[in-house]
Amino acid sequence: MTRKMLVVGEVKDNTLRHVSFETIAAAMKIADGGEIVGVLFGENLTSHAKAMIHYGADRIITVEREELADYTTDAYSQAFLQVYEQEQPNGIILAHTSVGKDLAPRLAAKLNNGLVSDVVAIENDSEKPVFTRPIYSGKAFEKKTMGEGIIFATIRPNNIPALTEDLSRTGTMTNMDVELKDLRTTIKEVVKKTTDGVDLAEANIIVAGGRGVKSAEGFKPLEQLADALGAAIGASRGACDAEYCEYSLQIGQTGKVVTPDLYIAAGISGAIQHLAGMSNAKVIVAINKDPEAPIFDVADYGIVGDLFEVIPMLTEECKNV
Ligand code: FAD
């Protein structure tokens, strides 16, 4: 069944997040040859619109407004609902990022529609697409189809591969005027933490440290390994609670959920709440001096040893590759 799909691209710090291309690929699985319409909110969106077309979108609607430069639930949901009214799609796909996690439920409520969140795989062989999503903190997976209404899902980053970029692809771009009224939230200032590293949520490789790094200084060898691998730095809550690093790095049930190709866990015991955030990584390498540490139960490769000896050796090896 051919379906017209709306996907929302995410722009952060004037960069289009890679997961936007994954939402296009996800929508294509459901569209069955139907039109893929990308929606972008913010300012200076032309280059991002072109990029979405190169990754498979047929048409892009840009909504350029100062009030949409930074995400707020109020402004984005008002703007999106006007695009929705105009387009009347058969389905909507958003990324399961902090923006998508906030926006999608609001839209679902406003549209009086169901929502399947945190989808990691989509099959579309039968009448309705079947979504796979993790449950019980990633210990099991459930398959879901939607009942009445339009198809509406958020997809977890790094699970549904984007199409290969095709610079010869063409599509149409239009700017749409929307009315934003009675906004209850306005962003006065964004105070950014300076990070030079790779974005944790979208990283292909993550080097994560736990309480075993013993101090903020103890993260240095992990940062050197991350630099050698082009990886992002992550952490357990144990490391965050001990003030070895920022809470923004926390991975797990109450932190970020990540699905990199490679996850290197150093000095992390492997508590269930940590596993909830990383156990779906494609390859897990654990470095721990305790051979009984539960992290080894989920690891593909385990190194029993002192991280302060193992990590510098790994870094040297990686530099030579
Ligand atoms: P520890 O459990 O103390 O483990 C440290 C490990 O380092 C040990 O295995 C030790 O053998 C090893 N080690 C020590 N020195 C070295 C060395 N030199 N070389 C190699 N290995 C070494 N935790 C999360 O991570 N994320 C969450 O989102 C999260 N949410 C939670 C939510 C709730 C409601 C609760 C109750 C807890 C949550 N936790 C979360 C906390 C979780 O239960 C654990 O306490 C935490 O993950 C432990 O962190 P850790 O593995 O770094 O520390």
Residue with tokens 């796909």: 93
Q: Are residues 107 and 244 in the same domain?
A: no
**DSSP string across 20-48:** HHHHHHHHHHHHTT--EEEEEEESS-HHH
The whole-model pTM stands at 0.83
Provide the number of structural domains found in the chain. Answer: 2
Q: Are residues 91 and 37 in the same domain?
A: yes
- List the residue whose alpha carbon is closest to atom 28 of ligand 1: 252
- Angle (CA) 27 29 34, round 5°: 70
Q: Are residues 28 and 166 in the same domain?
A: yes
Q: Are residues 116 and 26 in the same domain?
A: yes
Q: Are residues 83 and 217 in the same domain?
A: no
Pairing of strands 205-209, 232-235: parallel
- State if residue 209 touches ligand 1 by the CB under 6 angstroms criterion: no
pLDDT tens column, 238-293: 999 999 999 999 999 999 999 999 999 999 999 999 999 999 999 999 999 999 99
Query: CA 321: distance to chain centroid?
Result: 29
Q: Are residues 169 and 211 in the same domain?
A: no
Q: Are residues 15 and 124 in the same domain?
A: yes
Residue 254 is labelled as binding a ligand: yes
- List the residue whose alpha carbon is closest to atom 36 of ligand 1: 273
Query: What domain range is 84 assigned to?
Result: 5-175
- State if residue 288 touches ligand 1 by the CB under 6 angstroms criterion: yes
pLDDT tens column, 70-128: 999 999 999 999 999 999 999 999 999 999 999 999 999 999 999 999 999 999 987 89
Burial 102-135 (b: 16+ CB within 10 A, else e): ebbeebbeebebbbbbbbbbbebeeeebebbbbe
Interface confidence, given as ipTM, is 0.99
Cα of 149 from ligand 1 centre, angstroms: 43
Final residue of a domain: which of 129, 156, 175?
175
Cα of 206 from ligand 1 centre, angstroms: 16
CA distance 33 to 53: 15
Q: Are residues 150 and 212 in the same domain?
A: no
How confident is the model at residue 273, as a pLDDT? Answer: 95
CA distance 99 to 143: 24
Tokens of 272: 């269930």
CA distance 77 to 178: 11
H or E segment at 121? strand 121-123
Q: Are residues 159 and 235 in the same domain?
A: no
CA distance 11 to 52: 11
How confident is the model at residue 56, as a pLDDT? Answer: 98
- State if residue 218 touches ligand 1 by the CB under 6 angstroms criterion: no
pLDDT of residue 195 exceeding 60, the answer is no
Q: Are residues 96 and 143 in the same domain?
A: yes
Burial 53-89 (b: 16+ CB within 10 A, else e): bbbbbbbbbbbbeebbbbbbebbbbbbbebbbeebeb
- State if residue 252 touches ligand 1 by the CB under 6 angstroms criterion: yes
Q: Which of 278, 288, 295 to mutate to test the pocket of ligand 1 (most atoms within 8 A of CB)?
A: 288
Q: Which of 137, 200, 273 to mutate to test the pocket of ligand 1 (most atoms within 8 A of CB)?
A: 273
